[in-house]
Structure 1
């Protein structure tokens, strides 16, 4: 279970605010956020199993993130959904141009939810949608269900993000939101309860939140990218912090 919360044109200083948790098996190899050696314009983590990424930005300030769809059936040898994020960040296409290409090949990928933003539009699609949709200003949240699903976890996440917008927001407040281990479900199944939390630590399944990531882009085009990595024992060092300058990011 993953969580992505996006405040889009909902704050007077920051038109784009992203707070996200990546949940994954602890044994799956990955690299923390960094500028990619072969593509230094891209900043994000790297999945060493498939080569893509779950969330990233580039020096133009474009943002992309993906989650899997829980319960979806994997097509035979389906392409990695993390490839979609990497492809968008490496392209020089607008959101609509890129999504037009996704429309033609979405069925080739493992079940996914995809969010991309070029500073002008925030756009969503999935493997089952006929096309993409441009999202209106506001707070949007997605986990491992579809964006339009009435899931309690994402409903609470939108409320919590709204509270942070009124207070700042600050890195500390956003990281604290993502670190909340309280279940949002009252299921009789202990695993379902554990997976309903913002921050997951299901040690018996060797599964949990592996990274918490923030991206804030201000009205001047400056960007701030922060990431905290975790393993089964807790945080791995201090959060990494990167700044992107407006000179390289068109407003």
Structure 2
């Protein structure tokens, strides 16, 4: 993901709402949102180049993890895959299932939200940090967490308005389109917004997950909507 907002324990009907846009090169292959068929229990889109994911839900446990990259840092191909970090944390298994702060510099620059009842922020820019998130509305984009980011603040404000109005979060998907806010949606034939995704967990544990996909120039390329219980 490249801009994402999280409402944690502040909406009376939806204790967790996560919304965001994934920006990526259009040539990078990806599979649509689905339950993975590898026995992992993960529900996510899939990066077919590196094999990981940018955002997912672990159906048995209810864990949710989403990652953004951080601009300005030259990627090191020798470092561990950020998508694999998301997968390990979702499964609760593997080398990075529960990373410690010293582990975070093994990855290229990233910001990450992880939630499962409680919520945490993990980042390695400007330095490795693992911090608990208080109930509230939080946002990340491609900037280090100690720097202001207007794009993240725009999405945080949109989600906060839904929370304040106790509204249905699905309308947030329209906020992420080029027509609604071109600052949140990147149009391009080489690089641009590839997907808008909503994850909303109801008070009874039911998950509503929607992914809208886009081709070059922002052309719609399909929508997947899934509903499933945790556990």
Q: TM-score, normalised by structure 1?
A: 0.83
Query: 1:211 Cα deviation (Å)?
Result: 0.7
Query: 1:106 Cα deviation (Å)?
Result: 1.6
Aligned length, in residue pairs: 227
Is structure 2 residue 34 aligned with structure 1 residue 14? no
2:129 counterpart SS class: coil
2:221 to 236, 242, 248: 236
Gaps of 5+ in 2: none
More helix, by proportion: 1
Matched residues in 2 for 1:92 and 1:118: separation? Answer: 15
1:213 to 197, 202, 207: 197
Matched residues in 2 for 1:69 and 1:15: separation? Answer: 28
- Correspondence for 1:71: 72
Matched residues in 1 for 2:144 and 2:134: separation? Answer: 17
- Mapping for residues 29-48 of structure 1, pairs under 5 Å: 29-48=29-48
- Correspondence for 2:106: 108
Matched residues in 1 for 2:205 and 2:25: separation? Answer: 35
Matched residues in 2 for 1:221 and 1:92: separation? Answer: 22
- Correspondence for 1:123: 120
Conservation of the 8 A alpha-carbon contact between 2:105 and 2:128: no
Is structure 2 residue 171 aligned with structure 1 residue 173? yes
Matched residues in 1 for 2:74 and 2:205: separation? Answer: 40
Query: 1:161 Cα deviation (Å)?
Result: 1.2
Matched residues in 2 for 1:182 and 1:125: separation? Answer: 30
1:52 counterpart SS class: coil
- Correspondence for 2:184: 198
TM-superposition CA deviations, 1:219-238 (whole Å, max 9, x none):
2111111111111151112x
Conservation of the 8 A alpha-carbon contact between 1:5 and 1:158: yes
Higher gyration radius (CA): 1
Q: TM-score, normalised by structure 2?
A: 0.90
2:185 counterpart SS class: coil
